[in-house]
Structure 1
Amino acid sequence: MVKLSLCAIVKDEEACIGRCLDSVKEVVDEIVILDTGSRDRTVEIARDYGAQIEHYQWNDDFAAARNAALQYVTGDWVLVLDADEILHPEIVPQLQEAIASDRHLAINLVRQEIGAKQSPYSLVSRLFRPLPGIQFSRPYHALIDDSVTEFMAQQPDRWDIGYLSSVAIVHDGYRPEAIAARDKLSRIRKAMERYLSEHPDDAYTCSKLGALYVQNGEIEAGLKLLRKGLKQEKHLDRLLRYELHYHAGIALSKQQKVGKAKSHYEAAIALNILPALKIGAYNNLGNLYMQTGDLTGAIAAYERVWQIDPNLPIAHFNLGLALKEKGKLNEAIAAYHHAIELDPTYAEAYQNIAVILLKNGKVFESLDHFRKAIALYERRDSPAGSELRSTLKEMGFKI
């Protein structure tokens, strides 16, 4: 019987630790929690789930903390989660089958990023055999990949890496409010800058820190790091090459260098990786096609997104935008309705339907959709609601 352990490092996670442990309590044989200084009820809640609690002095190094936690694990396999993550229940049978294999050293898992509309999936190395020598590296975005590569090189015919293609982990920590609440970006930046100063040629950190600079508006600084990483492209795994091209495309798009941005997105899409991981590149490429008036190209890119994930609201919304510009109004409305079916709070979809209906002379139906859009905007405290109300008032409509 294969024994599976859950391992997590935590600090002040009382709001979410219960959901995390609920998702694994019937799956794992052991729960190891490494607390790094909680002042709330995190430890108490974890104990209620039968967790083994250990303590660790936080030193701004996630790899060091994760490796410290691994010392207490006794299972044949370990699943590593953060408190703001849950194990998707539908993946459990596949997970159990995967760890029963004698060949697998590690299993890569698809993680769904809640709040990340453009690129909602990532691949993470969080399920592995806790053998001597398998450990995390890098202070932030810590991962075991480097040690796994070295371990497998010593026994090339013994081990392989597996992956589960369905969503295994649901992550709720990348919503803007979640990041702001913990000042995550500042802590991430400091940790990665320190690591890069010590490892200046580390392409992985170039990718992550470069993307963070671009996100922060420091486009040139970000591009410099991304290009530095891409100079090593021939020696990098496909996922890292994808990330470098993807983020370079974003940076160049912000600089209005459309042709160069397209080239990077196309290079990212051409890589042989899980299609779900390419959604961000397809979305952004479609946006560039829209920007340059290539509606056929935009429609093809957006259609590819919903073919990969038909349950992604923004895929249908973006397709609606392109179809509307193409003059295919009924098809555009249908696409917007698909987006609303998947996300009933999609105010922009209601507004765009309203605009089409108004142009078609369906005033009452249009106003009903405008009202729904305004109500949804106001529910999320968006100024778009009052702006839309004012615009309609100027047009002579009373909402």
Structure 2
Amino acid sequence: MKSNLKSKKPSLSLCMIVKNEEEYLQECLESVEDVVDEIILVDTGSTDRTVEIAKQFDAEVYHIPWHDDFAAARNESIKHASGDWILQLDADERLDPESKKELRHWLENNSKMCISVLIDSPKEENNKGHISRAHRLFRNLPGIQYSGRIHEQISPSVSKLKGEEGFTNIKVMHLGYNKSEVEMQAKSERNFLLLKRQLAEEPNNAYYHFTLAQNLILQKEYKQALTSLNTALKLGGLPKDIRCSIYNNLTEVHTKLGKYEEAVQFAAKAISLSRNQTTSYLLLYEIYGYLDNPLRQIDCLESVLDITGKQKQSYNEVSLEAYVDETAIYINLGNRYLKTKKLEKAHNYFQKALEKDENNFLALTGKANSFLETGDFQKAQELFERVHQQAPDDFGILEKLGWLAIKLQNFHKGIEIYEKLLTFHPENFNILKRLAALYSKTGNLPKSKEHLLRLKSI
């Protein structure tokens, strides 16, 4: 990439550290190539096409050995930057296209020393994820540098320079939680070792005890995580957003340990620190599921929906904010209302989900079940037919369609469905009995007798 550092507009340098990132790097660089003025890439030992890809974007590539120190590598990257501002990204991150205009606006219209952006980490398999804040945009000034072997930060150096921080809604998409289980485990183990080394150097650093706890939670070492979280609180000195996240982590850990009463208490502490965050309510929803309390689950999800409209505010109040796809929230609310026999509300929430995704399998199934409960068998059948098209071999859906065919006195349709069910379970007593009755109703006595004889042989 050709430098544009003589422009009157503030110039921007992208600074990265990489190793074997050929799978992710190109899309990362494509996301910012029309925003940044130069690309500085520090490679710590790639053996794949990472460097080749970087040079396709005219990146300046520097090579250093890896010394188990992220801050040292980051500082090497910013040492070579010539821009007025520095943007830091990892290879598995992309600048959200809708944030480009806001990014340029902040570069040209603010007096802050560093800028906090939103890191959106979705988990593709379950429509969940979390959003955190990080200082990824800062002025290229003497004295601004990273510190920390792991979970490196520039904020301590900015504080020493008495610089101000700006909060933005610039969004960076992080794909790191969608890597393979092997990759995630290797990353977790690497980070654990670095955190232990960092704590050996700074045993009274509450922040590193907090980050160690998060690593231990990912490794499902909940008792050890509990110790680290309590140590972080005891050492103190942490800002409100980190304390709120610690209480949410304590909620999660106690839930995993089956200590639900304590978990509820810690969630309440997190909510008292920040009422405009959804993480605590989502954790409580899980707890009340274990306690089979659908009414309290409804309260939790209704709170999540209420907060969602104000969520940008909450990103300043908690260091890590969980989220769930709104369609999934509607479906879960529909199911909880269905369980408590509040059928009109159940129906309405399933409908809201279908307005967002008209072919959503779970929403169609839920709405069909709500019609079953109200006795509207015709509408239930229509919806289950749509579900059946998506999952033609789903035994449960076929059973309901068979039952509905009988209720609607469509006996030939019922026979067709139950014969298919019989292919799944040839010796199923109830299916054979139902087929015998259906054939009798349609006047096909030989077939009815055939199934009765099969019943006797079971």
Q: What TM-score, normalized by structure 1, do the two folds share?
A: 0.82
Kindly state the Cα deviation for residue 28 of structure 1 after the two structures are TM-superposed.
1.0
Q: Is 1:123 aligned with 2:133? A: yes
Whole-angstrom CA distance in 2 between matches of 1:345 and 1:70: 49
Whole-angstrom CA distance in 1 between matches of 2:352 and 2:335: 13
Whole-angstrom CA distance in 2 between matches of 1:136 and 1:355: 56
Aligned residue in 1 for 2:62: 54
Amino acid at match of 2:73: A
Q: Give the SS at the match of 1:86.
A: strand
Identical residues among aligned pairs (%): 31
Kindly state the Cα deviation for residue 86 of structure 1 after the two structures are TM-superposed.
0.6
Whole-angstrom CA distance in 2 between matches of 1:54 and 1:75: 17
Q: Give the SS at the match of 2:94.
A: strand
Q: Structure 2: which 5+ residue stretches go unaligned?
A: 1-8, 310-324, 395-420, 436-458
Whole-angstrom CA distance in 2 between matches of 1:279 and 1:257: 21
2:223 to 210, 220, 231: 220
Kindly state the Cα deviation for residue 39 of structure 1 after the two structures are TM-superposed.
1.6
Matches within 5 A, 1:108-187: 108-115=116-123, 118-152=128-162, 159-164=163-168, 166-175=169-178, 177=180, 180=183, 183-187=186-190
Which one is further off, 127-136 or 71-80? 127-136
Deviation string, structure 1 residues 4-34 (Cα, Å, up to 9, x no partner): 1111111111122111111111111111111
1:264 to 258, 263, 266: 266
Whole-angstrom CA distance in 2 between matches of 1:227 and 1:53: 43
Q: Give the SS at the match of 2:123.
A: coil
Aligned residue in 1 for 2:245: 243
Whole-angstrom CA distance in 2 between matches of 1:62 and 1:28: 23
Q: Give the SS at the match of 1:132.
A: coil
Describe the shift of the 1:204–1:119 C-alpha distance in structure 2 as closer, same or farther (beyond 3 A). Answer: farther
Q: Give the SS at the match of 1:82.
A: coil
Whole-angstrom CA distance in 2 between matches of 1:245 and 1:374: 45
Aligned residue in 2 for 1:365: 383
Kindly state the Cα deviation for residue 324 of structure 1 after the two structures are TM-superposed.
2.6
Aligned residue in 2 for 1:301: 300
Whole-angstrom CA distance in 2 between matches of 1:129 and 1:317: 45
Aligned residue in 2 for 1:22: 30
2:90 to 71, 79, 82: 82
Whole-angstrom CA distance in 2 between matches of 1:272 and 1:133: 33
Aligned residue in 2 for 1:283: 282
Kindly state the Cα deviation for residue 330 of structure 1 after the two structures are TM-superposed.
4.5
Whole-angstrom CA distance in 2 between matches of 1:374 and 1:252: 41
Q: CA RMSD in A?
A: 3.2
1:325 to 339, 349, 359: 339
Aligned residue in 1 for 2:75: 67
Kindly state the Cα deviation for residue 137 of structure 1 after the two structures are TM-superposed.
2.1
Aligned residue in 1 for 2:108: 100
Whole-angstrom CA distance in 2 between matches of 1:55 and 1:99: 29
Q: Give the SS at the match of 1:7.
A: strand
Q: Is 1:315 aligned with 2:323? A: no
Whole-angstrom CA distance in 1 between matches of 2:393 and 2:30: 35
Kindly state the Cα deviation for residue 98 of structure 1 after the two structures are TM-superposed.
1.9
Aligned residue in 2 for 1:230: 233
Describe the shift of the 1:333–1:198 C-alpha distance in structure 2 as closer, same or farther (beyond 3 A). Answer: farther
Kindly state the Cα deviation for residue 349 of structure 1 after the two structures are TM-superposed.
5.1
Contact 1:9 1:66 in 2 (8 A): yes
Whole-angstrom CA distance in 2 between matches of 1:137 and 1:336: 49
Amino acid at match of 1:222: A
Which one is further off, 212-221 or 120-129? 212-221
Which one is further off, 344-353 or 237-246? 344-353
Amino acid at match of 1:205: Y
Whole-angstrom CA distance in 1 between matches of 2:388 and 2:170: 35
Q: Give the SS at the match of 2:301.
A: helix
Whole-angstrom CA distance in 2 between matches of 1:183 and 1:352: 40
Q: Give the SS at the match of 1:174.
A: helix
Kindly state the Cα deviation for residue 209 of structure 1 after the two structures are TM-superposed.
1.4
Kindly state the Cα deviation for residue 226 of structure 1 after the two structures are TM-superposed.
0.3
Describe the shift of the 1:342–1:218 C-alpha distance in structure 2 as closer, same or farther (beyond 3 A). Answer: farther
Whole-angstrom CA distance in 2 between matches of 1:344 and 1:53: 48
Aligned residue in 2 for 1:210: 213
Q: Give the SS at the match of 1:231.
A: helix
How many positions carry a matched residue from both structures? 374
Whole-angstrom CA distance in 2 between matches of 1:306 and 1:219: 30
Describe the shift of the 1:375–1:312 C-alpha distance in structure 2 as closer, same or farther (beyond 3 A). Answer: farther
Whole-angstrom CA distance in 1 between matches of 2:257 and 2:60: 51
Please say which structure displays the higher CA radius of gyration. 2
Q: Structure 1: which 5+ residue stretches go unaligned?
A: 153-158, 377-388
Whole-angstrom CA distance in 2 between matches of 1:3 and 1:284: 43
Q: Is 1:193 aligned with 2:191? A: no
Kindly state the Cα deviation for residue 145 of structure 1 after the two structures are TM-superposed.
2.1
Q: Give the SS at the match of 2:161.
A: helix
Contact 1:3 1:28 in 2 (8 A): yes
Amino acid at match of 1:215: L
Amino acid at match of 2:238: L
Whole-angstrom CA distance in 1 between matches of 2:285 and 2:114: 35
Contact 1:24 1:87 in 2 (8 A): yes
Which one is further off, 306-315 or 102-111? 306-315
Kindly state the Cα deviation for residue 127 of structure 1 after the two structures are TM-superposed.
0.8
Amino acid at match of 2:132: S
Deviation string, structure 1 residues 189-222 (Cα, Å, up to 9, x no partner): 1111221222222222211211222332222111
